Structure 1
Amino acid sequence: MKVNAAGLAIIKTYEGCEVNAYPDPATDGDPWTIGYGHTSEAGPPNVRKGMKISKARADEILTADIGTFSRSVMRYVGRELTDNQFSALVSFAFNVGTGNFAKSSVLKAVNRGDFKSVPWRIQLWTKANGRTLPGLVKRRAAESHLFESMEDAHTLFAAPPAQPTQAELLEMREARGLIGPDLGKPIAKTGTFWGGLAAGAAGIFGAMKDTLYQIGDLRAYLPFDDPTWLSITLAAIVGTAVVWIIHARMKRSREDGV
């Protein structure tokens, strides 16, 4: 399998080409980048301060880098893919990095044959430093469309992806290495969660207080027979179970939502 024209168009469009080496915006230094997002970590050539290349050389380096990412995707994917699906995944991995790709729910869905959910899972990856980047939103939409498209690559290539603005290109360049999924606000930080938990506990207390007082057999095994304490005990047990269930759901959400 190899990246088709549509996949190449997405990568070129959203990486942007710089013929002069530029430093990591976060450190004003290493890693230096050139061409279509090429760094020394991706392989030769080593990028250094003051380095300059031609547009043709940038295309050559991109071809080599795409080969590297293609081999990584093939190593992780255990399913047969169409050219469009493969090209979309290589573009995605090229942008988020092979480490993120390897642990993402995008790959998990692909490997269990859940191709239908892959497009929206791809579109979760639009944040950097907790902020949604419009350029990433456009790129993910293009990758998702390519993944689920049955059209010929040349037909897709004839209608290029939405062009990012220069400001969006700069934002995406600064976001390299920081891109992550948008999982929404953690449930434990929402007022709905804590309000629901408090309301549930109060409801249990109110509903069970009088009923539990009538359960003589249960009271006989407890060190107290006061109905209030009996209700509090049950509420604590149920509350602990609820918290455990929510924790398990949150853990599953984190694992399945990237």
Structure 2
Amino acid sequence: MAAAVALVATWEGLRTVAYRDVVGIPTVCFGETRGVKMGDRYTVDECKAMLGDGLAEFEQGMRKCLKAPDQIPAKSYVSFLSLSYNIGTGAFCRSTVARRTNAGDIRGACNAIPAWNKAGGRVVKGLVNRRAEEQKICLEGVAG
């Protein structure tokens, strides 16, 4: 979980006051959008706790749609959790990443990560960069 917290925190960044993300969704802390209203404020410690709780929740959802989550290499698992946190459990579970993982093709799943580079229907440079890092870490897991 520590590796997932570090990866997600790095890419989401920390903002203690609610702001609108690139597609206008109220967001706060480390990319939290659920229940966020403009004007919301949190302390750094509250944001860290929110990230930990959020990752645990997204991990539960992600594990439900994976046939053998405990057999996924650790680095690949962390990459999948970062992706799930960012795109949502439903989108992750319907993704080629999840389908390939369930078919036993972890490398193929890793190589499907970069497709998730859009927000609001347009390619976002930050997502391109994040997906490249998630894919790199994922493939490191496959390589051993």
Q: Percent identity?
A: 28
Paired position in structure 2 for 1:126:
117
Q: Given the alignment of the two structures, is residue 95 of structure 1 paired with residue 86 of structure 2, yes or no?
A: yes
The alignment yields a C-alpha RMSD, in angstroms, of 2.1
> Could you list the runs of 5+ residues in structure 1 that have no partner in the other structure?
152-258
Aligned partner of residue 17 in structure 2, secondary structure: strand
Out of 17, 22, 27, the position equivalent to 1:20 is: 17
Aligned partner of residue 50 in structure 1, secondary structure: coil
Assess, with a 3 A threshold, how the Cα gap between structure 1 residues 116 and 49 changes in structure 2: closer, same or farther. Answer: closer
Out of 8, 11, 14, the position equivalent to 1:11 is: 8
Q: Contact 1:17–1:36 (CA<8 Å) still a contact in 2?
A: yes
Aligned partner of residue 149 in structure 1, secondary structure: helix
Assess, with a 3 A threshold, how the Cα gap between structure 1 residues 93 and 50 changes in structure 2: closer, same or farther. Answer: same
Q: Contact 2:5–2:51 (CA<8 Å) still a contact in 1?
A: no
Paired position in structure 2 for 1:77:
66
Aligned partner of residue 22 in structure 1, secondary structure: strand
Q: Contact 2:74–2:141 (CA<8 Å) still a contact in 1?
A: no
Rg larger in 1 or in 2?
1
> Could you list the runs of 5+ residues in structure 2 that have no partner in the other structure?
none
Residue correspondence of structure 1 range 1-258 to structure 2 within 5 A:
3-5=1-3, 7-23=4-20, 26=23, 32-39=26-33, 41=34, 46-79=35-68, 80-150=71-141
Aligned partner of residue 19 in structure 1, secondary structure: strand
Q: Contact 1:72–1:98 (CA<8 Å) still a contact in 2?
A: yes
With the length of structure 2 as denominator, give the TM-score of the two structures. Answer: 0.85
Q: Kindly state the Cα deviation for residue 147 of structure 1 after the two structures are TM-superposed.
A: 1.3
Q: Contact 1:69–1:93 (CA<8 Å) still a contact in 2?
A: yes
Number of residue pairs matched by the alignment: 140
Q: Contact 1:4–1:83 (CA<8 Å) still a contact in 2?
A: no
